[in-house]
């Protein structure tokens, strides 16, 4: 897998609300301005039929190869394997790290971390990364949904202290160029974003701003 040698600093988590074309254009624009291997695209779409998800995953696989980015598929190592993705992200109920790697050999496996116990479990199971969330306040996905309470930078400091040295820690939830530097100073190896890139008219500029903020620490 061409991009496994480097650890991405910026994870773009997709949101089906923006549409396939917008997501693909965002991937190409962002990947074009970041160093090869610096971007990871995490395909997340819980409502999509598997047949359609596999088709879109294949489309994103082509786009990520063009810009030298990593592709991760949420929750389904079989689809990840079928489209030649680099790994899988496991949320609650999505199985364990070993199970994922038994399907997708040498997979980069990240897991959701909503608590310190999640970080400990991921570290014990040998995950490559955890996405700690929500670090900052985020907009609810719908008017009827309840906003999750922000965990703050202390959640990153705690995750870094609990994680194996080789396991990456990413900050997710309300991350912007204005607070990305604080995340890495608190121990994050990178950040994961949605709206910060997908909801802007110039995702390349937004990505550069986030990457520049993190670069002050590197």
Give backbone dihedrals phi and psi of 104, rounded to 5 degrees, phi first: -120, 95
Confidence of residue 218 (pLDDT cuts 50, 70, 90): very low
How far, in Å, are 15, 112, 185 from residue 85 at the CA level? 18, 19, 30
Domains, the chain, with CATH or none: 10-215 (3.20.20.70)
Interval 14-66: pLDDT, tens: 999 999 999 999 999 999 999 888 999 999 999 999 999 999 999 999 999 99
Res 184: pLDDT: 96
Residue 13: exposure state from Cβ atoms within 10 A (0-12, 13-18, ≥19):
buried
**Percentage of the chain surpassing pLDDT 70?**
91
Res 139: pLDDT: 73
- For the segment 8-12, the average pLDDT, to the nearest whole number, is 97
pLDDT at 145 over 60: no
Res 140: pLDDT: 63
Interval 78-99: pLDDT, tens: 999 999 999 999 987 777 999 9
Neighbours of 124 (CB within 10 A): 10
Res 6: pLDDT: 63
β partners of residue 11: 40, 192
Angle (CA) 218-184-213 rounded to 5° is 65
Q: Note the pTM of the prediction, 2 decimals.
A: 0.92
Q: Where are the beta strands (DSSP E) in 75-189?
A: 87-90, 108-113, 129-132, 168-172
Q: How far apart are the C-alpha atoms of 199 and 174, rounded to whole Å?
A: 13
Res 169: pLDDT: 98
Mean pLDDT of the chain: 92
Res 5: pLDDT: 43
Q: How far apart are the C-alpha atoms of 40 and 177, rounded to whole Å?
A: 17
pLDDT at 4 over 50: no
């Amino acid at each position: 897998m061409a991009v496994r040698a480097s650890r991405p600093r910026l994870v773009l988590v997709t949101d089906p609300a923006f549409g396939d074309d917008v997501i693909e254009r965002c991937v190409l624009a962002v990947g074009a301005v970041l160093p090869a291997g610096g971007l990871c695209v995490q395909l997340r779409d819980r409502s999509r039929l598997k047949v359609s998800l596999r088709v879109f995953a294949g489309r994103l696989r082509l786009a990520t190869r063009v810009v030298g980015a990593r592709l991760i598929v949420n929750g389904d190592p079989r689809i990840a394997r079928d489209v030649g993705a680099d790994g899988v992200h496991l949320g609650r109920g999505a199985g364990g790290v070993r199970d994922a790697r038994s399907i997708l050999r040498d997979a980069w496996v990240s897991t959701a971390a909503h608590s310190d116990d999640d970080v400990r479990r991921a570290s014990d199971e040998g995950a490559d990364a955890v996405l700690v969330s929500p670090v900052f306040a985020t907009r609810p996905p719908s008017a009827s949904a309840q906003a999750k309470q922000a965990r703050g930078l202390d959640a990153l400091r705690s995750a870094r202290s609990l994680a194996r040295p080789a396991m990456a820690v990413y900050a997710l939830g309300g991350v912007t160029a204005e607070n990305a530097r604080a995340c890495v100073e608190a121990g994050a190896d990178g950040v994961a974003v949605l709206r910060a890139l997908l909801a802007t008219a110039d995702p390349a500029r937004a990505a550069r701003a986030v990457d520049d903020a993190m670069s002050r620490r590197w």
